[in-house]
Structure 1
Amino acid sequence: MIGETFVLKGNDSNNLIKENVSNLKVYSIDSVRVKHFFTEKVDYIIEGNKLRRTKNSKIPNFDEHVVVYNDDGTFTFNSFPRNPPLTIPFQLYADYDFSDFDSIYGNLDKSFLSEKLKNKIAKREKIKIGVIGTSITAGAHTLEQFYHNSDKDSYPYLIKKAIEKLYRNEVVITNYSQNGSSIDYLGDVFPTALKDNNDLMFIEFGMNDHIYSWWKSNLPNFELTMSNSVDRFKTHGIDVIMVGFFQQNQSWDLEFINSTIEYNQSLSNVSKKYNCYFADVNKEFSKYSQPKINQDFCGDFMHHPTSFGHLLYYKTIIPAFLKEDVNDGFIYNLVN
């Protein structure tokens, strides 16, 4: 494992996602990509896969991350002064070896991708991938985006690295994503994506569509627009992979918890209708507690995944390109 993100709060312990860890390295990363390592027993104590700060630790204390809550226990987002504060300044990174592997099941030989694209992969031809979605796909609040205005930590570039290492194809990524966008943005991008001769499109919407009180009445339009867009891409010979979204911070006053489930189900419905691969991001993130998602896997404490959070997105997408079953250690090593 390289770069698992987490925070430590006061004297509380926090667990890594794997249980059988060894050769642990804990560090922070500054704005010029320099790693600053912390020392076991000086800055932190580790017991099994759980870490906690020492009394005189130099590790940032997440107790200092103060959110202003409303009387009903929710918070209202404010950009300046920012509420809730970003988690990035408090986050640590962990590199370690592990032996408790997850199984990853290959799907390349199934019918999700066209024979045309499979043949290009087999012949080591150049593959052009377009990605269209929200600020998540744009890489918002990953380390690279926050400090260097780059989307290179986002899941599309992890997929690029994996395909190039697995099959030796050249992979070109074009990221059409826009911060704050919703499903209607798909229609704006279609002519450009078509002109660019993409072989494959990743489509990631729902995180911005599912909030607000009218989410349920908007759901039919969401599914219809998604269906029409997928149909148009596939009619023009462009494969589609649909990317779901995870449960954002439940304390945000714009969040309606059931809508996460229903919008992801809508994405799944469309994927089945058009025989597209659906990356069930919510299923992967649901393995972890909501506080861990908010604090450890989000750079904004709300819904922007960290660079490690994008690794979890990648974990849900890469099976579409795997010929055989592997373990998660194998797929992580592809992008280290």
Structure 2
Amino acid sequence: MSERIKTVVENIQAVNKEMGQAAQQHLNNLTKPIGSLGELENVAVQLAEITGSKLPEVFPPGVIVFAADHGIAEEGVSAYPQEVTAQMVMNFLNEGAAINAFTKSVNGFIEIVDVGVKSNIDADGLVVDKVGFGTKNFAKGPAMTKEEAIHSVEVGMKRAEAMINKGAKLIIVGEMGIANTTASSAIVASITGVNVRSLVGQGTGLAASALDYKAGVIDDALKVLQPDCNDPLDLLQKIGGFEIGAMAGAMLYAASQHIPILLDGFICTASALVATKFCPEVQDYMIAGHHSVEPGHAAALDALGKKSLLTLNLRLGEGSGAVLAYPLVEAATRMAREMATFDDAEVSRETVKN
């Protein structure tokens, strides 16, 4: 582990449970029956614990989309050719993707980062911090070197730091990388011990008949490489992706600054599991935005102990589901900050009859 990663991890503190209790007492005094706003109240309490403020703020959100290619695509595990990664990066930069439209709708910041696309992209607005030109094919050997794994995490930390310095009060990380559901399935299988075949899904649209083959590729690689499920750098080195490492790094840095992390779908949640292997406390800084239709997402969420805010049958990635869930998170903060208390509004409290 590098000094940079070690320093960030050491700066991650346990969330402030006392502030959460204070927030809960405040919510109980608002003009509503106790607990009547359900999960929104739980979110408000968690945000208070994360930020150390009884009245937290999460606006504006900062969205960072990391793009990278995967050597495992050579095994035919994706429905789309590898050049789509670079093509979609250009689509992001031209503001033509779902993540662009959704981020605009919440007035958030957005940044696109080339952390490992296979080709060079020369375009205005793109942050280029390449670890390499795609990972190696982990069906034939480790996906990357240990140095590359460290570099990928550090890129994520650097980009999260820049986004928070820009003013972001909440971090959403998204991704683009053909075959990254394969890497994510391998990571989740390794960490959770869940059978690979029950984890793999269609990804970008793979035909159901090809899922057995995809699972077989992953199973064979895991048997040969035997990644250490408790060593995040070993997981990244053997079966990971540059964008997966970067997403984990961004989450770690956000937690070190008491900034909430709103999780997206399967690849994002696989990255979140990697982040928890660096520091278990980081999961308390995470809120699950939505429940993807990718089969492995349920196993990843269970391993994190998270319940999603939305279920919309999404499987796009990019951070799109998290951005769609963001208004609910912001609503939780507005509830805490803007609703009147019973005393302020001169509203009678409920009475208990014997």
| TM-score, with structure 1 as normaliser | 0.36
Which one has the bigger strand percentage? 1
